[in-house]
Amino acid sequence: MRLVLLGPPGVGKGTQADLIAHEFDILHYSTGDIFREILKGSSELSGKLAKYIDKGELVPDDIVSETIRRTLSNDGTKSKGWVLDGFPRNLVQAKMLDDLLCNVNQKLDFAIYLRAHRDILVDRLASRRVCSKCGIIYSLQINPPKENSICDECGGELIQRKDDERDTILKRILIFENEFAPIRHYYKDEKILIEVNGIGNVNDVFNHILENLKSGQERRN
Ligand SMILES: [Zn+2]
């Protein structure tokens, strides 16, 4: 099984990708993990990648695709199947993924899209606070600290990261929506798109994904 899991920031892709990987005994890759792994080494690619990451800039499509190609072409990955979370980010990357799979006689089975209304995501992410001392993450919605603005574990001050401010979040979500629209059409045309409501209990969302994967496979057989 080869899957991509797509959705806006804050929708819980990482959690669902973990559950899917466990259920089907496949590998879970996020671009963040792949980048970190490559940065540990000292290749030409890691040098190029570091230039963008250090500056906090978006990594260009050709470099992202090269990192994905390397990851997917190692033997263990080829034989086991995988779920990619957060890739592709745009149509160029979606087409590159198809091309590189085609080169090794593989293809993508399904693209799962976790849908969520932007207001819910903004509320969710904007309620995030991080301990400035120990780094523990709190959600004022789900697991607030016992005392306002103070870490339960170490007494450090809880802060809101720049990334979690409402304006920044909204900007990231709008960028996602903009880039995602053509990907959605692309996978819909290929008849591999699965859309699931990403808001709700983690297990309910996961069960919806499983049901849709099953019916998708049945339709195909
Ligand atoms: Zn703390």
Beta strands in 57-145 (DSSP E): 82-85, 110-115, 128-131, 137-139
pLDDT band at residue 80 using 50, 70 and 90 as cut-offs: confident
Could you report the per-residue pLDDT of 134-163, keeping only the tens digit for each? Answer: 999 999 988 999 999 999 999 999 999 988
Report whether pLDDT(71) > 80: yes
Distance 202 CA to ligand 1 centre (A): 26
Distance 154 CA to ligand 1 centre (A): 4
Distance 146 CA to ligand 1 centre (A): 12
- Which of 53-57, 107-111, 205-209 shows the lowest per-residue confidence on average (mean pLDDT)? 53-57
pLDDT at 76: 75
- Rounded to the nearest 10 degrees, the angle between the axes of helix 31-40 and helix 61-72 is 80
Report whether pLDDT(74) > 90: no
Tokens of 211: 């049901």
Report whether pLDDT(184) > 90: yes
Distance 150 CA to ligand 1 centre (A): 8
Nearest to 85 by CA among 162, 185, 198: 198
Domains defined along the chain, listed by start: 2-220 (3.40.50.300)
Rounded Cα gap, residues 91 and 97, in angstroms: 10
Distance 175 CA to ligand 1 centre (A): 32
Active-site residues, by number, are 13, 89, 128, 161, 172
pLDDT at 18: 96
Nearest to 164 by CA among 199, 146, 139: 139
Could you report the per-residue pLDDT of 5-18, keeping only the tens digit for each? Answer: 999 998 999 999 99
Per the CB < 8 A criterion, the answer to whether 130 and 153 are in contact is: no
**What is the pLDDT of the chain when averaged over all its residues?**
92
